[in-house]
Amino acid sequence: MSSGAEISEPIERLLQHPSLWRGRNLARAETFPSGFAALDAALPGGGWPRTGLVEVLVPRHGVGELSLWLPLIAARSTRPEGRWCAFIAPPHQLFAPAFAAAGVDLSRLLIVHARPALWPLEQALRSSACDLAFCWLERVRPKELRRLVLATEQGATPAIVFREAAARREASPATLRLSITPRPDGVRVQLLKSRGGSREPVDLRFPWLPA
């Protein structure tokens, strides 16, 4: 009775389940879908890591580094058991209409104004009260980054740290390290360090931006 297509579709869906490990994947990492198919294909495990330190190197603020995470923030914040999405030491005001329009549950956002930002970030990571912790760091030593990596493992919260592109020359203990350059309708993402991800730059288009 049933055709081949009807059977293969549920199987495909099952195979895409993040907790299912297939030999084809180089790294067995639990991931969240990033919301961009091209990026999922390039990232190890098919998405953003569920724990660990993600270092994002940006030439300057406002080049698309936060929009890149909007689909993930929306997905995590709208879960019924959603925890905080913490934004620590953001360089400018977060503008609520953009987040609301992206489908983010605003009641789950927590903005922490603090400099230096390392202490609140470590609290956010260790307390396991946050789903995601975004942090803008100015100067940070490798020793402090290693401390953050330990903290992410303890609280099962991924830390996304934005740093200046000049930090590219420094060694980093981050789980994932990527650099971002702006494009007219999106960003170009280059994975600098990953466990089994693609080295090719990925061009992403933000579908919500008007052409």
For binding to another protein (CB under 8 A), which residues are involved?
59-67, 70, 80-84, 90-103, 105-114, 119-120, 123-124, 127-131, 156-157, 181-184, 206, 208-210
Which two three-digit tokens encode residue 113?
Answer: 């104004």
Nearer to another protein, 24 or 92 (CB): 92
Which two three-digit tokens encode residue 4?
Answer: 């081949």
Residue 96: name the closest of 84, 83, 108, 88 by CA: 108
Helix axes 142-155, 118-126, angle to 10 degrees: 20
| Least gap, CB of 34 to another protein (angstroms) | 16
| Least gap, CB of 203 to another protein (angstroms) | 12
| Least gap, CB of 92 to another protein (angstroms) | 4
| Least gap, CB of 185 to another protein (angstroms) | 8
Nearer to another protein, 12 or 81 (CB): 81
Neighbours of 120 (CB within 10 A): 19
Element of type H or E holding 143? helix 142-155
> Would you call the peptide bond into 116 cis, given omega within 30 degrees of 0 as the criterion?
yes
| Least gap, CB of 145 to another protein (angstroms) | 21
Nearer to another protein, 23 or 184 (CB): 184
Nearer to another protein, 7 or 119 (CB): 119
Sign of CA dihedral 17, 19, 23, 29: positive
Query: In terms of residues, how long is the chain?
Result: 211
Residue 38: name the closest of 152, 165, 190 by CA: 190
